[in-house]
Amino acid sequence: LKFIVGGEAGWLSGLRARPRVGRSWFERDLFYHGTFRDDFLWGVSSSAYQIEGGWDADGKGPSIWDNFTHTPGNNVVNNDNGDIACDSYNKLEEDLNILRALRVKAYRFSLSWSRIFPTGRIDSVNKYGVDYYNRLIDGLVASSIIPMVTLYHWDLPQALQDIGGWDNPSLIELFDSYADFCFRTFGDRVQFWMTFNEPMYEAWLGYGEGVFPPGVKDPGYAPYRIAHTIIKAHARVYHTYDEKYRESQKGVISLSLSTHWMEPKSPNLPGDIEAADRALQFSLGWFAHPIFRNGDYPDAMKWKVGNRSELQNLATSRLPSFTEEEKRYIRNTADVFCLNTYSTKIVKHRTPQLNPPSYENDLERTEEDDNSWPSTAVNRAVPWGMRRVLNWLKEEYGDIPIYVTENGVGLKKSQIEDIDRIFFFKTYINEALKAYNLDGVNLQGYMAWSMMDNFEWLQGYSVKFGLYQVDFNDTNRPRTARTSARYYTEVINNNGMPLDKEDEFLYGEFPKATSISIYLSIHPSIHPSIHSSIHPSTYSSLSLSLPPIYLSIYLHIYTHIDITCTYVL
- Give the integer Cα–Cα distance in Å for 208 and 541: 63
- Give the integer Cα–Cα distance in Å for 131 and 550: 58
Helix (H) or strand (E) holding 483: helix 483-494
Query: What is residue 527's DSSP assignment?
Result: S
Burial annotation 254-289 (CB, 10 A radius, 16+ → b, else e): bbbbbbbbbbbbeeeeebbbbbbbbbbbbbbbbbbb
Q: In what order do the strands lie in the sheet with 261-264?
A: 261-264, 344-349, 365-368
- Any residues with CB less than 8 A from the CB of 389 and at least 6 apart, and which? 259, 260, 261, 339, 341
Q: Quick one: how far is CA 166 from the chain centroid?
A: 25
Helix (H) or strand (E) holding 244: helix 222-244
**263, 367, 396, 406: which one is catalytic?**
406
Helix (H) or strand (E) holding 50: helix 48-51
Query: What is residue 29's DSSP assignment?
Result: T
Task: State residue 69 phi and psi, 5-degree precision.
Answer: -75, -15
Burial annotation 101-133 (CB, 10 A radius, 16+ → b, else e): ebebbbbbbbbbbbbbbbbbeeeeebeebbebb
- Give the integer Cα–Cα distance in Å for 191 and 238: 13
Quick one: CA dihedral 388, 390, 393, 399, positive or negative? Answer: negative
Quick one: CA dihedral 479, 482, 487, 490, positive or negative? Answer: positive
Secondary structure of residue 122 in the 3-state scheme: helix
Assess whether 406 carries a catalytic annotation: yes
Q: Quick one: how far is CA 352 from the chain centroid?
A: 30
- Any residues with CB less than 8 A from the CB of 22 and at least 6 apart, and which? none
Cis peptide preceding 484, ω within 30 of 0: no
Helix (H) or strand (E) holding 128: helix 127-142
Q: Quick one: how far is CA 538 from the chain centroid?
A: 50
Question: Is the Cβ–Cβ distance between 118 and 56 less than 8 Å?
Answer: no
Enumerate the active-site residues: 406
